Chains A and B, each alone.
Chain A
Amino acid sequence: MSASTLTPDSVIIAATALIVLAGLAGLIIRPAPLSQKLAAAITLPSAVIGFCAAILMLVHRSDARYVIDWSLPFGPCEIGIDPLSAFFLLPIFLVTFCGTLYALGYWPAARNPATAPGVTFFYGLLPGAMALVVMARNGALLLVSWEIMALSAFFLLITEHTGEEVRKAGSVYLLTTHTGSAALIILFSKLHAATGSFIFPHQGTLAATGQTAALMFILALFGFGAKAGIMPMHFWLPSAHANAPSHASAMMSGVMLKMGIYGILRFLSFCPQKPLWWGGTLLVAGMMSALLGICFAAVQTDIKRLLAYSSIENIGIITTGIGMAMVGEATGNPSLVLLGFSGGLLHLLNHAIFKPLLFFGAGGIIHSTGTRIISRMGGLAKRMGTSALVFFIGSLAIAGLPPLNGFAGEFLLYVGFFREALSPVPVLALGVPALGLVGGMAAITFVKLYGIAFLGAPRSREAAEAHELSGVMIVPMWIMALLCLTGGLIPPLFLLLVQPAVAMLAPAAASGARLPASFSLFPLFGLALITAAAAVWLLTRRAIRRRGAVTAGTWGCGYTAATPRMQYTGAAFSEFWAGVTRSLSRCMTEKPAAGTVAPRTVPFSYNPEETILDRFIQPVLELAGIGCAFIRRLQHGQLHVYMLYIFITLILLTVWVR
């Protein structure tokens, strides 16, 4: 291979192809354990290389385009990598790397010979398809890769299809994604009608205006938003993420949701002028998703559902950022545009780091305790110390606390909202308390998650028998955790990766406005904070050592016969919050009165409901089914009436024609 062909873009494409091929090898070659290791051996290096290449393209802000003649009747098939694509390639390769490594320990072919080949295959196909999605410059190609992505995710999701719940989740997911794709098909057909070809129009050259553009925007919002999980198109997401194997959930939540965001951004990049209401819609939708998402997350009892809802929250924050930028563009406010895009994309990158970390952690817990119910865990920090540590870092990060990366992204959005607060009509200022509320609820959620799952005494036998995870599962979590720290301590580093994409989306703003200078100070604070904490920690430790410390049972306030089952459960922890927000997070709590002086055992059930799914989607489907059943009577088996149908059709058509 000559030096000329060894450009980053060609390397990226090669890496993508290799990852898919590795998956294929994992499917075909037997025995399964060998093929899984082989696939990993191919995937890991290619993912690393692809990652580095993507970073190179970002920093050089280079833009590559290839035209392939694919002989399908959709015009030439164009593949391109511009900063936006390169930026979205980062999470793809990152999560692929960590997930593949993690899978070796989490889903070893030796223990699941039946399913492992399929999982390996689709775990290669999914990132490949997503890479193609971000590289596609042709509507048809994007649709194709989009559907491949959706389907591979579906097959990953139904890996354990013997479970009823899994199948239900699979169906719901499949139906949602298919409906979304229908919207996208219309969108791209409209684009084709507007531009005369399936090739994407160049940036800001889409000639559509008025109603057409509005319709396209709505279609894009629906089609891509459904995949991203923006409320209220989120209903498929929790069950899907909860029931997939954890490394698959990590891939779906960490990367696949972002493809929806990518689609929206890509579509917006076509449009020369974007009305104010576009930005407003995005902003409101994002805020709603953030608030409701985290509000639902706080009351969940299933660890993976909780994480899934928090994904909805984070997607909401990202969307908020984009909406902010759109509003800024419409009102000609470059600083808002810059802050919105930078904050949104930075948070996107961060979420792609800590969410997989948390899903890996959750997978580890499920792996070693075999339960997904938070209230059946507990005391895991003593049994799986390292995972507990990295999980703690992830929780801090996702709660948006300094000095971790979650804070960096939200900081930018805060600044954006605050700057708006100084403007004549500070409507956007409302975003500040909203974000504050989101932050507070995130704290509730993750204090509960970490505190109940990892701390205290084991709440069940499984939890008591939990074991530390193997190295291959710990290492990827460590990588993610370190990235969280890096992103928190040195946000400018991550900003370097975000800026090119922002510059592409909003060139004027990127050159015109500036980000708060404080970003460069972050490392200082972070380090100071950590060192100070470390210092105090050492001092206290010395003090404790000197005065000696004894270990005893927890102080039961005079009650001496306390058992682990008397600990505060996750449900109890969040029930207080659920009480405050009863109307929103509708939790079915059954609390029979104890009754007599000497109460018998009273059952107490607590399960948060899937509002949209249970109250809207299901009933509609039921009704449709009933209606269809009514019409089905037409097929009653009476031959002579069938004849009548033909006769009538003939007559009607004849009458119609003349």
Chain B
Amino acid sequence: MTDMLIHLLLVLLMPPLLLGIIGKTKAWFAGRVGAPFLQPYYDIARLLRKGSVFSSTTTWVFRAGPVVTLVSTLFAALLLPFCHHPAPIAFEGDLILFAYLFALGRFFTTTAALDTGSSFEGMGAAREVTFSCLAEPALFFAFITLARLSGSLSLTLMLNHLSISVWQMAGAALLLMVGGLFVVLLAENCRIPFDDPNTHLELTMIHEVMVLDHSGPLFGCILYGAAVKLFVLGVLFVNVIAPFSTGSSLADWGLFVLGMMILAVAIGTVESVMARLRLVRIPQLLVAASILTAFSLVLVLR
């Protein structure tokens, strides 16, 4: 029960912190002091208090977009185990629901973008759907590998089955998979090298350009939702690379939070040391990710 509560609290509260950490890391690399860790929380709070501007072309879809995206992402969070603590919801095939909840969110975000009738947002939507479509196979190959390793079709069992011993057994495969998953993680959350969350050159952006017209509380939802998405995929990633479990549950939670923070730092590092890719390269990288994960499956088979 307490685990469940902690789970929910983490899901609801922690995500913006990751953004803060990433920002701090990048600032550190740039030799700046940077915004405080809690800056994202302030931003969201401020946005919730702001008034909104709506384009005259928009319809209810425009308003529903952020909401549904946020909700579906939160639901996806309920399907994931936080290292060795079973997820609140777990059943055979929940991994499919997991993937499709993201798809649902994406559908709403992109339609909301198209609702404004702005060509920039249309551009962003087109890129978003295309890239995520290419990212789909990578994710599923990874899932197949995990499923084969654990012999089950539920995220909880799949991820909690991982352990040091498993790593020793199928290290190579898992390594390949981790690579693939990291690409997916970055792509899905529109981080560098795929997308730049805080440039303002619309033509090169994907996610940011889709939300150009949102403002006020809805924009807050979007920011929060993006954070949650990063958090959720991060959890998946951390679960794979850090399957440590000390006997006590509290220590596990600590480990988990630590892991997430380290991940955020890693992402920040990547963002600071890498440049943004040219748009045309992105599909190739995503296909490469699918191939990596596919190889990991092959390795598991033999």
Q: What residues of chain A have their CB less than 8 Å away from a CB belonging to chain B?
A: 378-379, 381-382, 385, 388, 392, 396, 399-402, 407, 411, 414-415, 418-419, 421-422, 426, 429, 432-433, 436-437, 439-441, 443-444, 446-448, 450-452, 455-457, 516-518, 521, 525, 528-529, 532-533, 536-537, 540-541, 543-544, 547-557, 562, 564, 566-568, 572-574, 576-577, 580
**B56 near A439: Cβ-Cβ < 8 Å:** no
Q: Which of B19-27, B137-145, B163-171 contacts A (4 or more CB under 8 A)?
A: B137-145
A379 to B59, alpha carbons, bound, how many Å? 9
Cβ-based interface call for B249 (8 A) = no
Q: How many whole Å from A459's CB to the nearest CB in chain B?
A: 9
Cβ-based interface call for B92 (8 A) = yes
A596 to B123, alpha carbons, bound, how many Å? 25
**A567 near B221: Cβ-Cβ < 8 Å:** no
A531 to B202, alpha carbons, bound, how many Å? 35
Q: How many whole Å from B80's CB to the nearest CB in chain A?
A: 15
Q: Determine the chain A residues whose CB is within 8 A of the CB of B118 once the complex forms.
A: 554-557, 562, 567
A47 to B297, alpha carbons, bound, how many Å? 51
Q: What residues of chain B have their CB less than 8 Å away from a CB belonging to chain A?
A: 48-57, 59, 61, 63-64, 66-68, 70-72, 74-75, 89, 91-97, 99-101, 103-104, 106-107, 110-111, 113-123, 125-127, 129-130, 132-134, 136-137, 139-141, 143-144, 147-148, 151, 153, 202, 212-213, 216-218, 221, 283, 290, 294, 297, 301
A540 to B64, alpha carbons, bound, how many Å? 10
A565 to B155, alpha carbons, bound, how many Å? 47
Q: Determine the chain B residues whose CB is within 8 A of the CB of A543 once the complex forms.
A: 48, 216-217
3 tightest A-B CB contacts, nearest first: A568-B122, A440-B133, A451-B114
Q: Determine the chain B residues whose CB is within 8 A of the CB of A388 once the complex forms.
A: 59
Q: Determine the chain B residues whose CB is within 8 A of the CB of A422 once the complex forms.
A: 147-148, 151, 153
**B137 near A433: Cβ-Cβ < 8 Å:** yes
Q: Determine the chain B residues whose CB is within 8 A of the CB of A550 once the complex forms.
A: 51-54
12 pairs, CB–CB < 8 Å, chain A vs chain B: A400-B100, A429-B297, A437-B137, A447-B125, A536-B71, A544-B218, A549-B53, A550-B51, A554-B116, A555-B213, A562-B118, A577-B130
**A457 near B117: Cβ-Cβ < 8 Å:** yes
Q: Determine the chain B residues whose CB is within 8 A of the CB of A399 once the complex forms.
A: 103, 107
Q: Determine the chain B residues whose CB is within 8 A of the CB of A580 once the complex forms.
A: 130, 134, 283
> Which residue from chain A places its CB closest to the CB of B294 in the assembled complex?
A433
Question: A421 with B110: in contact, given A381-B61, A529-B71 (CB under 8 Å)?
Answer: no
Q: How many whole Å from B219's CB to the nearest CB in chain A?
A: 10
**B97 near A547: Cβ-Cβ < 8 Å:** no
Q: Determine the chain B residues whose CB is within 8 A of the CB of A447 once the complex forms.
A: 107, 110-111, 114, 125, 129
Question: A567 with B71: in contact, given A402-B100, A444-B129, A550-B53 (CB under 8 Å)?
Answer: no
Q: Determine the chain B residues whose CB is within 8 A of the CB of A533 once the complex forms.
A: 64, 67-68, 71
Of the candidates B126, B143, B290, the one having the most CB atoms from chain A within 10 angstroms of its own CB is B126
A396 to B67, alpha carbons, bound, how many Å? 16
**B115 near A455: Cβ-Cβ < 8 Å:** yes
Question: A444 with B100: in contact, given A415-B93, A419-B153, A544-B216 (CB under 8 Å)?
Answer: no
Q: Determine the chain B residues whose CB is within 8 A of the CB of A421 once the complex forms.
A: 144, 147-148
A636 to B113, alpha carbons, bound, how many Å? 69
Question: A547 with B117: in contact, given A455-B61, A518-B93 (CB under 8 Å)?
Answer: no
**A415 near B153: Cβ-Cβ < 8 Å:** yes
Which of A452, A517, A540 has a CB less than 8 Å from the CB of B63? A540
**A547 near B216: Cβ-Cβ < 8 Å:** yes
A415 to B103, alpha carbons, bound, how many Å? 18
Question: A426 with B59: in contact, given A443-B133, A455-B114, A554-B213 (CB under 8 Å)?
Answer: no
Question: A552 with B55: in contact, given A432-B143, A525-B97, A573-B126 (CB under 8 Å)?
Answer: yes
Which of A418, A444, A548 has a CB less than 8 Å from the CB of B153? A418
Which of B57, B75, B153 has a CB less than 8 Å from the CB of A457? B57
Q: Determine the chain B residues whose CB is within 8 A of the CB of A528 once the complex forms.
A: 75
**A540 near B106: Cβ-Cβ < 8 Å:** no
Which of B57, B71, B117, B144 has a CB less than 8 Å from the CB of A432? B144
> Which residue from chain B places its CB closest to the CB of A399 in the assembled complex?
B107
Q: How many whole Å from B23's CB to the nearest CB in chain A?
A: 24
Of the candidates B57, B61, B67, B75, the one having the most CB atoms from chain A within 10 angstroms of its own CB is B57
A176 to B93, alpha carbons, bound, how many Å? 41
Q: How many whole Å from A120's CB to the nearest CB in chain B?
A: 36
**A549 near B52: Cβ-Cβ < 8 Å:** yes
Q: How many whole Å from B136's CB to the nearest CB in chain A?
A: 4
**B133 near A551: Cβ-Cβ < 8 Å:** no
Q: Determine the chain A residues whose CB is within 8 A of the CB of B93 once the complex forms.
A: 411, 414-415, 418, 516, 518
Q: Determine the chain B residues whose CB is within 8 A of the CB of A517 once the complex forms.
A: 91-92
Q: How many whole Å from B51's CB to the nearest CB in chain A?
A: 4
Which of B96, B110, B111, B297 has a CB less than 8 Å from the CB of A411? B96
Question: A566 with B290: in contact, given A402-B104, A547-B217 (CB under 8 Å)?
Answer: no
Q: Determine the chain B residues whose CB is within 8 A of the CB of A555 once the complex forms.
A: 55, 116, 118, 212-213
**B117 near A456: Cβ-Cβ < 8 Å:** yes
**A536 near B67: Cβ-Cβ < 8 Å:** yes
Q: Determine the chain B residues whose CB is within 8 A of the CB of A576 once the complex forms.
A: 126-127, 130
A544 to B117, alpha carbons, bound, how many Å? 22
> Which residue from chain A places its CB closest to the CB of B203 in the assembled complex?
A557
A518 to B153, alpha carbons, bound, how many Å? 12
A574 to B104, alpha carbons, bound, how many Å? 19
**A444 near B107: Cβ-Cβ < 8 Å:** no
Q: Determine the chain A residues whose CB is within 8 A of the CB of B96 once the complex forms.
A: 411, 414-415, 418
Q: Determine the chain A residues whose CB is within 8 A of the CB of B48 once the complex forms.
A: 543
Q: Determine the chain A residues whose CB is within 8 A of the CB of B125 once the complex forms.
A: 447, 451, 568, 573
> Which residue from chain A places its CB closest to the CB of B127 in the assembled complex?
A576
**B50 near A553: Cβ-Cβ < 8 Å:** no
**B221 near A536: Cβ-Cβ < 8 Å:** yes
Q: Determine the chain B residues whose CB is within 8 A of the CB of A457 once the complex forms.
A: 57, 117
> Which residue from chain A places its CB closest to the CB of B113 in the assembled complex?
A451
**A433 near B91: Cβ-Cβ < 8 Å:** no
**B301 near A548: Cβ-Cβ < 8 Å:** no
**A451 near B110: Cβ-Cβ < 8 Å:** yes
**A439 near B100: Cβ-Cβ < 8 Å:** yes
A426 to B115, alpha carbons, bound, how many Å? 43
A443 to B8, alpha carbons, bound, how many Å? 30
| 9 more CB-based (< 8 A) A-B contacts, given A381-B59, A382-B59, A529-B72 | A400-B100, A407-B100, A418-B95, A432-B140, A451-B115, A456-B57, A544-B218, A554-B213, A580-B283
> Which residue from chain B places its CB closest to the CB of A445 in the assembled complex?
B129
Q: Determine the chain A residues whose CB is within 8 A of the CB of B133 once the complex forms.
A: 437, 440-441, 443-444, 577
Q: Determine the chain A residues whose CB is within 8 A of the CB of B143 once the complex forms.
A: 418, 432
**B117 near A554: Cβ-Cβ < 8 Å:** yes
Question: A433 with B290: in contact, given A411-B93, A544-B216, A557-B120 (CB under 8 Å)?
Answer: yes
A28 to B97, alpha carbons, bound, how many Å? 53
**A456 near B116: Cβ-Cβ < 8 Å:** yes
> Which residue from chain A places its CB closest to the CB of B91 in the assembled complex?
A518
**B134 near A440: Cβ-Cβ < 8 Å:** yes
A432 to B146, alpha carbons, bound, how many Å? 13
**B92 near A456: Cβ-Cβ < 8 Å:** no
A564 to B290, alpha carbons, bound, how many Å? 38
Q: Determine the chain A residues whose CB is within 8 A of the CB of B144 once the complex forms.
A: 418, 421, 426, 429, 432-433
Question: A379 with B57: in contact, given A536-B70, A562-B118 (CB under 8 Å)?
Answer: yes
Q: Determine the chain A residues whose CB is within 8 A of the CB of B94 once the complex forms.
A: 518
Q: Determine the chain B residues whose CB is within 8 A of the CB of A415 once the complex forms.
A: 92-93, 96, 153
**B115 near A402: Cβ-Cβ < 8 Å:** no
Of the candidates B103, B141, B148, the one having the most CB atoms from chain A within 10 angstroms of its own CB is B103
Q: Determine the chain B residues whose CB is within 8 A of the CB of A557 once the complex forms.
A: 118, 120, 202, 212
Q: How many whole Å from A356's CB to the nearest CB in chain B?
A: 21
Question: A568 with B123: in contact, given A439-B100, A516-B92, A540-B63 (CB under 8 Å)?
Answer: yes
**B122 near A572: Cβ-Cβ < 8 Å:** yes
Which of B56, B91, B129 has a CB less than 8 Å from the CB of A521? B91
**A540 near B75: Cβ-Cβ < 8 Å:** no
**B140 near A436: Cβ-Cβ < 8 Å:** yes
A537 to B112, alpha carbons, bound, how many Å? 14
